[in-house]
């Protein structure tokens, strides 16, 4: 299946994408993760995108789409993928649709994960991630077993550069202005289903699986 996961920052897209991609045996492809690798490695692309990611602004559409479609061209994504955080604008959605059509394929479903703003700010400001393996924890809701250490690989946990309160508020504003219009675009194409992102990780996964089962019928 070819699936897109849309949602405000902090709605749990990354966590849910990993769970669902495992169940569907397709790769989870996160545009944010692709950018963070470039930033960490100090590449030219990394330096370019950092100007946008550090302030919570979107990376330009053409550049983002090139990075993501290049990843989708790898063999493990040939039979399906779960996109997390891409597309985020109508223009990116158009470019993705063109690229898939060029390969004779199309999306099967778009899941919109929803969460109220105050809950998002609470989740994001307590979030910590492991740069080594990508695991995400929350200091209050899912604390690591050992303080500041990743349960998965033992690496040191860090706060994402863009998880400070001011940048979180900017990212939410960008989501409302640029990504919310995308929901209508996908609804018009009969691809969109809404899933409530509140509750525990298993509760949300269960809702997402049920939504996809309905699409497959
Ligand atoms: P995320 O990890 O999905 O929250 O993404 C982190 C940051 O990467 C965002 O705040 C943007 O600056 C950038 N980014 C990720 N995905 C996209 C996208 N589809 N379009 C533009 N910028 C993006």
Residue nearest to atom 5 of ligand 1 (CA): 32
Residue nearest to atom 3 of ligand 1 (CA): 32
Q: How far, in Å, CA of 40 to CA of 33, rounded?
A: 10
End-to-end CA distance of the chain: 13
Kindly state if the Cβ of 52 falls inside 6 Å of ligand 1. Answer: yes
How far out from the chain centre does Cα 26 lie? 15
Beta bridge partners of 6: 112
Condensed to tens digits (0 to 9), the pLDDT of residues 84-135 reads: 999 999 999 999 999 999 999 999 999 999 999 888 888 888 999 999 998 8
CATH of the domain at 204: 3.40.50.300
Nearest alpha carbon to residue 11 among 120, 128, 162, 136: 120
Instruction: Tell whether the model's pLDDT for residue 10 goes beyond 90.
Output: no
Tell me the CA–centroid distance for residue 142 and ligand 1, in Å: 24
Residue ranges making up the domain that contains 79: 2-216
pTM: 0.88
Q: How far, in Å, CA of 42 to CA of 51, rounded?
A: 13
Number of domains in the chain: 1
Secondary structure letter of residue 151 according to DSSP: T
């Amino acid at each position: 299946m070819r699936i897109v996961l849309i949602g405000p920052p902090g709605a749990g897209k990354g966590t849910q994408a990993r769970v669902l991609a495992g169940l569907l045996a397709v790769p989870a492809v996160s545009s944010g993760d692709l950018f963070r690798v470039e930033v960490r490695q100090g590449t030219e692309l990394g330096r370019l995108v950092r100007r946008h990611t550090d302030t919570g602004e979107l990376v330009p559409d053409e550049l983002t789409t090139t990075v993501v479609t290049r990843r989708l061209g790898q063999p493990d994504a040939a039979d399906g993928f779960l996109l997390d955080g891409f597309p985020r604008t109508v223009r990116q959605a158009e470019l993705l649709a063109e690229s898939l059509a060029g390969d004779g394929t199309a999306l099967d479903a778009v899941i919109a994960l929803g969460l109220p703003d105050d809950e998002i700010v609470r989740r994001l400001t307590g979030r910590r991630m492991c740069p080594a393996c990508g695991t995400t924890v929350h200091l209050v809701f899912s604390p690591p077993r050992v303080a500041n250490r990743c349960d998965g690989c033992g690496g040191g946990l860090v706060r994402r550069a863009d998880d400070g309160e001011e940048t979180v508020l900017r990212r939410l504003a960008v989501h409302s202005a640029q990504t919310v219009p995308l929901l209508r675009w996908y609804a018009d194409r009969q691809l969109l289903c809404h899933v409530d992102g509140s509750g525990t990780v298993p509760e949300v996964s269960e809702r997402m699986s049920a939504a996809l089962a309905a699409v497959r019928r």
